[in-house]
A and B are shown apart, each in its own frame.
Chain A
Amino acid sequence: MVAINRKRKAVTRDVAEDPIAAPGDEFTGGDLEGVLSQSEDESYHSGSNSEEELEEEEDEVDGEGDDSELEEDLEVSEDDDEDIREQMRNLQTSNPPPSHTNGTNGDLQNGQDFSDNDLDRFEDDSPNYTVTTDANGNTRYIYKEIDPVYDSDDSDAAAGVNTIGDIPLSFYDSYPHIGYDINGKKIMRPAKGAALDSLLDSIEFPKGWTGLTDPATGKPLNLSREELEILKKVTRNELPEEGYDPYPDMIEYFSGKLEVMPLSAAPEPKRRFVPSKHEAKRVMKIVKAIREGRIKPYTPPVEQENEDPELINYDIWADEVPRPDHIMNIPAPKLPPPGYADSYHPPPEYLPDQQEKAAWDSTDPEDRDKEYLPTDFGALRKVPGYDNVKMTFERCLDLYLAPRVRRSKLNIDPESLLPKLPSPDELRPFPTVCANIFRDHQGRVRSVSVDPTGTLVASGADDGYVRVWEMLTGRQLWNKKLSDDEAVDVVTWRPSKDTAIIAAAAGETVYFTIPFGLHTVNPEIEQASREVLDSGFGYQANKPTTETNINKEPTATWSRPSTSLTNDGVLLTASVRSTIKVITWHRRGDYFATVSPKGQSHAVAIHTLSKHLTQLPFRKLKGLAQTAQFHPSKPIFFVATQRNIRSYDLSAQTLLKIMQPGARWISSIDVHPGGDNLIVGSYDRRLLWHDMDLSTKPYKTLRYHQKAIRAVKFHQGGLPLFADASDDGSLQIFHGKVVGDLMENATIVPLKVLRGHVEKGALGVLGLDWHPRHPWCVSAGADGSCRVWC
């Protein structure tokens, strides 16, 4: 540090101070003594320039590193004090320790023995010879022996003293020496007059005492007053040197003053006294620009505080052009206007009662449909504040945050959804009440049929009886037991007004009966009926028997029954191979078809009454035949199997259509008198309406029954009615209007549920029939009764 300071001093000195100043003045201080003494080869008194010397020293510093240098310097600087102490010690203790000398001394380095302390510093100055007189008496210079070491004559070599390097001195604490010199000789620890020193220390604080130990020498490190001063200045951020001016006045060499000796002899250039053309040009350019208005002179910005920026001073809609709203734009819905309950003084009925209040209190605030309870404040002054800020904030959130969706609001009257049903007046008449009950049958009544005139009802039951009733009075007019062991499954009247023939099926046999003795059956009708039944016998006889017929078993046997039966009017029987379940007549009454579901290839048979002829149109039928029906006007025959209904053209003998009602098991079908529509009843509780022009699938599927549907029937006499009978004991009457227009679909309206039959053995109503003209219908129940509904 000292070295650096010195350097600065040196550098500044050659600028600031007189370069010719005598160097000797500076080096009078004792502090420099030691420094110079380091280089022993340099003679102290040589007139060499102090600058050079300092530079040398700098080099040294560079070579050795800062720490050691510092230590050395410090050590050196306290030599004076040391001397004094040593002198004191010498005074008191006459024999000083042998190796007491300062390690920096050249004597030590040379390894010579020197006991003289006083002279050790100036030893170098003394000639290295002793003058003796030789034998001749002449002075003789005896030179000291030169120790031929490596650097004995090296003037540049650093005066290395302790060579232990950069290790703490404490390593040598347990040794008498503190290191080794360049020659490998021990540097002995300086003696410490411990007791004396401590005494001295206690008496007075040594000057320049720092409490540190010089690592190189092992002596206490003391600083001189000047050094302390320098340190103090350094710590205060002051310049260490006294009187140094860091900012001297500038010496103006090139001043405007005319010197006697000018620095340059060049003549003054022209530009010094002629105004610049270029500048004038530029100025003119600006002037021109200002004149033209290209450059605007600077004006301080107008204070805009006075002017209200929010002030609106023009009509934004001055040229308004209506623009159609974007198709995707959904304007925010307006808040609904307040209702009566929002009033500050609502009608008393709007105020909540205790229950409502409790309910409101108990619900979560989020779940409430209103944020407040209607309250009656009575007077305007009593109305408290409301949290309008929150309300408005929520509205704001709704406006910008709520996803908007266009909902097609069902602002329609629910009534309008309901189909436009014809008014009940238009639908009338239809059967509504039970008018008559016919009770005489034992067992289930399987089938009923109304005669073509509409006065009589025939019924057949499990007891084997066929009974004829008068429809209006309910009087039993006629009965006949057809079979003892077989139930009468079907009873039908032949569809002709001029005859009165009942076809009833019991087991495999169809019995054709003319109920004698009825008031309706007058002799003419009886005669006509007999003729119809008997005409076939002649034909049968006349008919040439073909070979095929001989070989085969006849499909049906037509015969006259026993006399007991003929006496009661049963004039003809026709037997097929298996039990007949359905008989359907052709509209003319000449043909009829029987269906016996278990008959396999004989299931469906078409009989010709006038010829006593039986044909089996289907050699093989897919599925079990359930029922069959003739088309009311065309030569078309419908056969229903379990799942499908097939229609055949009888004249062309082709299959026309296969209808798939989708029911599991068809129970019955009926064809609309118009011929284009068909209703199908099924055991899986469905009633299906087929529009045959429309599709093979049903037009409507009606499922109103709890149990299987047994029978379906259209009204044949011009009224748009149809009915179905079900095992749940009810009949349902529908309005089914078919319009001639092809574009319009049929209107189907449920009209009435007729209940009355008692369910018996999981069976309810087994058969039904309509009156040929009136809206009356007859049903046959499993409870053994028939009911007339009108």
Chain B
Amino acid sequence: MPRIKKKGQSGAAKNFITRTQAVRKLQVSLPDFRRLCIFKGIYPREPRNKKKVSKRATPSTTFYYTKDIQYLLHEPLLNKFRDHKALAKKIGKALGRGEVGDAARLEKSKPRMRLDHIIKERYPTFIDALRDLDDALSMLFLFANLPSTTHIPPQTIALCQRLCLEFEHYLIVTNSLKKSFLSIKGIYYQATIQGQDILWLVPYKFVQRMTGDIDFRIMGTFIEFYTTLLGFTNYRLYTSIGLVYPPKFDSASDERGAELGAITLEGKSISATPIVANGFEGDDNPTRAIDAQAEADKVAHLQENEEEAGENDQPEWEPEEGNDAIDTFEPVATQDADILPQPQFSSSEAATLFSDLTFFLSRETPRAPLEFILKAFGCKRVGWDLVLGEGSFTSDEKDPSITHQLVDRPNLPANAFPDVPIETDVGNLVKKSASRVPGRTYVQPQWVWDCINQGKLLRPDLYAPGATLPPHLSPWVKPKQGQYDPTAPLAEQEREGEADLHQEELEVEDEAMEGAGLAVQPVDQPDMDALLDQSDVEAGQGMQIDGSDSSGEEDSDAEDQRPDWSAGSADSDVELSDSEQQRLEYQRELEAEAKGLPAPKADSSKKSGKKVVSEARKKADKKRKEQEEELERQRMMLPNRKRKLFDKMQYGNAKKDAEAEALRKKKRKLEKGEKIKGVA
């Protein structure tokens, strides 16, 4: 007879342990247990069957994996915690007796906790650490901006600031920042280090609200761990590119608000001089490092490509010395060969994006992110007003070497400043506001972000001060089939017949509005202003007096880009197909009706338009019906279980589709509004 198995002796019941049990087993207090869990990265699990795990009738507890807790039993930190507890008792006793000196002595002899071994344990390789850096960076950047309170000592904040600045310096030196995005929550950055994408969020510089329901002890524990982690990471990163760690930190200049400038990097070799000062070229030392980084990135990319390529035969690739750009491969025969994707954006490109430009930041712009981002993309000379802190390339706004100025203020009317007549080399007199320096490009800060996300310098006139900016788009959203993509034209994405459907719906809405005696109001007027602004700025560009070489180049760049821009618009004109025109016409008629004018002559065309619409709709309906029938037929063949799963998935997809459709509908409405305005 087999041995009778007892309940709760094996299997899931043994594998999981409740929190209370764990705390009892470890013989620590709950806060200590929490700290331990945070340091060691231990988290509760969700057992597959809660009822089998819990011995009690109410299975509503958190469970830990028993093995995790067993590992904790051998943790040296546990002993440290106990020492701390004993010491705290001693200090308490001494203070109770009024022996302040003793208490101070005991306080001084407090055993210091090191988390080195935990870092090594949790991240056996450097890549592992990089992979887990997202949260660490987000949190440290947040704490670097926090005011010190009783919970957060000023040393911690200073440490966070220093570590963050060091990390930013590394990114600047290696040009490994890839993308950035201005969101509501703050500024997102993405860097690629050794093939690992790291994404973190830096809040805008505002005083953060510290509401009561936030436990700063927990955050403090995390900060303790993350500072250690980022410290080791920085050490590794710096030493890997031949820099001395820790870099020299000038606390005096930091107090004067130098931020990035407070840190001076040093090469490891004796001859090396301090590098990366604002406006000065560094010596050759970091270039090697950059090469190394580029190489690493390239290898990472290649590996990815290999994975994607699968069994396709790999073309022979021999790296040439001194040429770190990836060769482009032209497929010989396109019929029976796959085309492998190749990376287009290398770090060398990032290093040269802004390298020829000199920026000046106006007082109202956020200096820290702009300085960091400009430098990370190769800009060597960034100047700003002295009120923004120390360390600028130039604090003189009139400096002739400045090519771009970042302005974030509304465009004031022309008569706000006395006009100064300026003679251009062409000879014509142009009245210009005194606040503008001729030959300089004025843009809003978003221009910088859009440029780096697209990897090229964009047309600055769209970003002129006071202009309505083009929408700022997240660089991380990949266009997916069936989902709305704001960059692509509407006609490409919509389903068949959807446009007509929407059209009809809109008409119904319009009619309802008209019936209610409401006129369709154009949204607002900024576009006109924007147009005016654009013309203004273009005029400014036309009259360069003492434009430096770099600005000239920039201008030529802009000119280069202009043709393809117009080509794009021409394409769009071509795309205005017959149906589109019909719709336009119909629209016009509607407006005429609304105004009470007699309908224009195209009465017949209107009818035909309606007919076309209804016909198209019928066709679409038919097709949809056929598809549905087919799907239903297939669904019938599924077993019951699978059918449920299928329905569930269909539900999710349908939700996504509905979202996309709603967006398209809104877009169409907006377009229509614009058209009406254009006609008016």
A residues touching B (Cβ–Cβ < 8 Å)? 309-317, 320-323, 328, 330-332, 334-335, 337-340, 342-350, 353, 372, 374-375, 377-381, 383-393, 395-397, 399-405, 410, 412, 414, 417-419, 421, 704, 748-750
Q: Which residues of A contact B235 (CB under 8 A)?
A: 312-316
Interface 9-residue window, one of B387-395, B576-584, B630-638: B630-638
Contact B476–A317 (Cβ < 8 Å)? no
Of the candidates B62, B116, B409, B653, the one whose C-beta lies within 8 Å of that of A381 is B409
* B222 near A396: Cβ-Cβ < 8 Å: yes
Q: Chain A residues near B408 (CB, 8 Å)?
A: 379-381
Instruction: Report whether A388 and B184 are in contact in the complex, using a CB–CB cutoff of 8 Å.
Output: no
- What are some 16 contacts across the A-B interface (CB < 8 A)? A310-B227, A310-B228, A320-B125, A338-B476, A340-B473, A345-B472, A346-B472, A350-B663, A379-B469, A383-B204, A388-B185, A390-B209, A396-B222, A419-B637, A704-B636, A750-B633
Q: Which residue in A316, A340, A381 is a CB contact (below 8 Å) of B364?
A: A381
Does B263 interact with chain A (Cβ within 8 Å)? no
Report the Cα distance A347→B473, complex, angstroms: 8
- A231 and B448 CA atoms in complex are apart in Å by 96
> Judging by beta carbons under 8 Å apart, are A403 and B203 in contact?
no
Q: How far is the CB of A492 from chain B (nearest CB, A)?
A: 32
Contact of B444 among A380, A388, A393, A748 (CB under 8 A): A380
- The complex places the Cα of A96 from the Cα of B232 at a distance, in Å, of 112
Given A337-B474, A347-B471, A403-B46, the answer on whether A750 and B184 have CB atoms closer than 8 Å is no
Instruction: Report the separation of the CA atoms of residues A349 and B659 in the bound assembly, to the nearest whole angstrom.
Output: 11
Please report the C-alpha to C-alpha distance between residue A750 and residue B632 in the assembled complex, in whole angstroms: 10
Question: Given A315-B235, A386-B184, A389-B210, A379–B43 Cβ distance below 8 Å?
Answer: no
Are A340 and B468 interface neighbours, CB within 8 A? Answer: no
- Give chain A residues whose Cβ lies under 8 Å from the Cβ of B658: none
Chain A residues near B210 (CB-CB < 8 A): 389
B636: nearest chain-A partner, CB-CB: A750
**Which residue on chain B has the smallest CB distance to residue A384?**
B206
Shortest beta-carbon distance from B196 to chain A in Å: 11
Which of A339, A418, A421 is most buried by chain B, counting CB atoms within 10 A of its CB? A418
Q: A316-B116, A342-B185, A349-B663 are in contact. Are A404 and B45 (CB under 8 A)?
A: yes
B188 touches A345 (CB 8 A): no
Question: Known contacts being A312-B232, A392-B142, is A386 close to B634, with CB within 8 Å?
Answer: no
- Chain A residues with CB under 8 A of B214: 389-390, 393
Residues of B within 8 A of A388 (CB): 142, 185-186, 201, 203, 208
Which residues of B does A touch, CB under 8 Å?
34, 37-38, 42-46, 62-63, 65, 67, 112, 116, 119-120, 123-126, 129, 132, 134-135, 138-139, 142, 146, 159, 181-186, 188, 190, 199, 201, 203-204, 206-211, 214-215, 218-219, 222, 227-228, 231-232, 234-236, 239, 245-246, 364-366, 408-410, 444-446, 468-469, 471-474, 476-477, 484, 486, 631, 633-638, 642, 645-646, 649-650, 653, 663-664, 666-667, 670
CB of B138 within 8 A of CB of A392, answer: yes
Q: Which residues of A contact B484 (CB under 8 A)?
A: 349
Do A312 and B126 form a contact, CB below 8 Å, given A388-B142, A388-B203? no
Closest to B487 in A: A347
Give Cα A372 to B184, complex, Å. 9
CB <8 Å contact, B218 and A397: yes
- Which residues of A sit under 8 angstroms from B188, Cβ to Cβ? 337-338
B45 touches A405 (CB 8 A): yes
CA distance A342 to B187 in the complex (A): 11
Q: Which of A315, A395, A410 has the most CB of B within 10 A?
A: A315
Given A328-B67, A418-B638, also A343-B181 (CB < 8 A):
yes
Select from chain B the residue with minimum beta-carbon distance to A344: B182
Q: Are B38 and A400 in contact (CB under 8 A)?
A: yes
In the bound complex, CA of A704 to CA of B632 (Å): 12
Residues of A contacting B42 in the complex (Cβ-Cβ under 8 angstroms): 400
CB-defined contacts of A317 to chain B, threshold 8 Å: 120, 123, 125-126, 129, 232, 236
A386 touches B663 (CB 8 A): no
Inter-chain CB contacts under 8 Å: number: 248
Name the B residues within 8 Å of A749 (CB-CB): 633, 637
Docked complex Cα distance between A400 and B474 (Å): 29
* Distance between Cα atoms of A314 and B219 in the complex (Å): 26
Hey, which chain B residues are within 8 Å of A346, CB to CB? 471-473
Which residues does chain A contribute within 8 Å of B409, judged by CB atoms? Answer: 381
CB distance from A128 to the nearest CB of B (A): 72
Q: Shortest distance in angstroms between B447's beta carbon and chain A's nearest beta carbon?
A: 11
Contact B637 A390 (CB under 8 A): no
**How far, in angstroms, from A343 to B188 measured CA to CA in the complex?**
10
- Alpha-carbon separation in the docked complex, A343 to B664 (Å): 18
**Contact among A310, A419, A704 for B231, CB-based, below 8 A:** A310
Q: Which residues of A contact B444 (CB under 8 A)?
A: 379-380
Q: Give the residue of B43, B45, B445 whose beta carbon is less than 8 angstroms from that of A399.
A: B43
Nearest-CB distance from B591 to chain A (Å)? 22
The residue on A at minimum CB distance from B120 is A316
Distance, CA A522 to CA B634, complexed state (A): 48
Inter-subunit contact B43/A312 (CB<8 Å): no
B residues near A383, Cβ cutoff 8 Å: 182, 184, 204
Complex CA–CA separation, A102 to B46 (angstroms)? 99
Across the two chains, which residue of chain B brings its CB closest to A310? B159
Contact at B469–A345, with CB atoms within 8 Å? yes
CB distance from B510 to the nearest CB of A (A): 16
The residue in chain A whose Cβ has the minimal distance to the Cβ of B215 is A393
Alpha-carbon separation in the docked complex, A283 to B543 (Å)? 96
> Complex: how many Å from CA A386 to CA B484?
27
Residues of A within 8 A of B134 (CB): 334-335
Docked pose: A310 CA to B224 CA in angstroms: 10
B486:A389 contact, CB within 8 angstroms: no
Measured CA separation A181–B559 after assembly (Å): 138
Whole-angstrom distance between the Cβ of B96 and the nearest chain A Cβ: 26
Query: What separation, in Å, do the CA atoms of A335 and B200 have in the docked complex?
Result: 9
Q: Give Cα A378–Cα B526 distance, bound, in whole angstroms.
A: 11
Given contact pairs A312-B235, A349-B663, enumerate 9 new A-B contacts (beta carbons under 8 Å). A330-B45, A335-B135, A345-B471, A346-B471, A346-B472, A349-B670, A380-B408, A385-B204, A392-B219
B142-A386 in contact (CB<8A) = no
From B62, B206, B208, B446, A345 is in contact (CB under 8 Å) with B446
Distance in Å: Cβ of A309 to nearest Cβ of chain B: 6
Q: A343 and B231 in contact (CB under 8 A), knowing A317-B126, A385-B203?
A: no
A603–B368 CA distance with the chains assembled, in angstroms: 98
Q: Are the C-beta atoms of B486 and A417 separated by less than 8 Å? A: no
Partner of B46, one of A385, A405, A412: A405
Given contacts A317-B236, A403-B63, contact A393 B218 (CB under 8 A): yes
Residue contact A400 to B34, C-beta cutoff 8 Å: yes
3 nearest A-B pairs in the assembled complex, by CB-CB distance: A385-B206, A337-B476, A405-B46
Q: B486 to chain A: which residues have CB within 8 Å?
A: 340, 347, 349-350
Is B135 a contact partner of A421 (Cβ separation < 8 A)? Answer: no
State in angstroms the CA–CA spacing of A197 and B139 once bound together. Answer: 95
* Cα A404 to Cα B64 with chains together (Å): 10
Q: How far, in Å, is B135 (CB) from chain A's closest CB?
A: 7
B43 proximity list for chain A (CB < 8 A): 330, 332, 399-404
A396 and B203 in contact (CB under 8 A), knowing A317-B236, A340-B474, A342-B474?
no
Determine which of A385, A399, A417 lies in contact with B207 in the assembled complex, contact meaning CB atoms within 8 Å.
Answer: A385
| Contact B232 A389, beta carbon cutoff 8 Å | no
Contact of A417 among B201, B232, B246, B645 (CB under 8 A): B645
User: Please, how many angstroms separate the alpha-carbon atoms of A317 and B120 in the complex?
Assistant: 7
Contacts of A748 in B (CB 8 A): 637
| A386→B232 contact, CB < 8 A | no
CB of B580 to closest CB in A, whole Å? 19
Given A345-B446, A388-B185: A403 and B246 interface contact (C-beta under 8 Å): no
Enumerate chain B residues within 8 angstroms of A402, measured Cβ to Cβ: 43-44
Q: CB-nearest residue of chain B relative to A377?
A: B184
Which chain B positions have C-beta within 8 A of A392?
138-139, 142, 219
By a CB distance below 8 angstroms, the chain B residues around A410 are 645, 649
B181, B232, B649: which contacts A316 (Cβ < 8 A)? Answer: B232
A349–B45 touching, CB < 8 Å: no
